Amino acid sequence: MVILRTPAEIEQMRRAGSLVGQVLERLREHVAPGVSTRELDAIAENMICSRGGVPSFKGYRGYPASICASVNNEIIHGIPGDRMLVDGDIISIDCGAMLGGYHGDAAMTFPVGPVSAEAEKLMTVTREALNAGIAMARLKMRLGDIGNAIQRHVEANGFSVVRDFVGHGIGRHMHEDPQIPNFGPAGMGMRLRTGMVLAIEPMVNAGGHEVVVMDDGWTACTRDGSLSAHFEHTVAITDDGPEVLTLP
């Protein structure tokens, strides 16, 4: 069941989203060679808690940290640990926070020092694909138009969209209906309505779309070892078009 949020609820979700956006901006400044993913997790957790928020991910189905930190061929759900970043890596950081009873959820992929031309293109195309999906998050469109716009942009650039994980509705819970695939035909699925709040999150592989999950039960990697990028925003559908709630 899809819940439509009132303007007062959207206002609270702006606060939660803004906190998540600020955490990612702070983490961007700390991403550098020699920094461990565990250090990035600590920075995020301290920032969320010091602002009165609760990390959405920690304890979710047993997940042990406040961010996901996924490096290079890792797509999503990388668990922070002792791994140190090195020049040329790309790192996808996903963060969620609950503030005042509502969640915000966002992700970005950052370069560590100079990276390959392929990695740069992958990050650019994935960010553009998210923006193409967000542009469809408005009245008169259907759910399938979001994924279709994402898939078309990604495949036009020679990359592939992950099928095994999807975006989601978000509100009082981090994961609500509907599911939002990053692929599929246009013009299908439910009509978009004012008050829907959606976490749109394309995961894009430089090679094939296939996924393998590591023995830790969380870390999802590309099956062919190719690089992967992930960008996500929490977006409200308003009478005036999409409003991105997870900007700093």
Distance, CA of 200 to CA of 242 (rounded, Å): 12
Cβ nearer to Co ion, comparing 35 with 197: 197
Instruction: For residue 101, give the nearest of 46, 50, 171, 44 by alpha carbon.
Output: 171
Applying CB under 5 A, the span of 20-28, 50-58, 110-118, 197-205 interacting with Co ion comes to 197-205
Residue from 143, 199, 204, 235 touching Co ion (CB under 5 A): that is 199
Helix (H/G/I), strand (E/B), else coil: 122: helix
The HSE-up count of residue 196 (CA atoms within 13 Å, CB side) is 26
Applying CB under 5 A, the span of 32-40, 128-136, 187-195, 196-204 interacting with Co ion comes to 196-204
Between 143-156 and 117-135, two packed helices, what is the crossing angle to 10 degrees?
160
Applying CB under 5 A, the span of 30-38, 97-105, 134-142, 205-213 interacting with Co ion comes to 97-105
Q: Applying CB under 5 A, does 13 fall inside the site for Co ion?
A: no
Residue from 9, 41, 74, 105 touching Co ion (CB under 5 A): that is 105
Q: How far is the CB of 34 from Co ion (least distance, A)?
A: 29
Cβ nearer to Co ion, comparing 45 with 105: 105
Q: State both tokens at 79.
A: 């668990």
Applying CB under 5 A, the span of 13-21, 43-51, 129-137, 199-207 interacting with Co ion comes to 199-207
* CB 105 within 8 Å of CB 232: yes
Cβ nearer to Co ion, comparing 16 with 115: 16
Distance, CA of 54 to CA of 49 (rounded, Å): 6
- Using CB under 5 A, count the residues that bind Co ion: 2
DSSP assignment of 188-245 equals -SPBP-TT-EEEE--EEESS-S-EEE-TTS--EEETT---EEE-BEEEEEETTEEEES
Cβ nearer to Co ion, comparing 201 with 243: 201
Q: How far is the CB of 169 from Co ion (least distance, A)?
A: 10
Q: Which residues bind Co ion (CB under 5 A)?
A: 105, 199
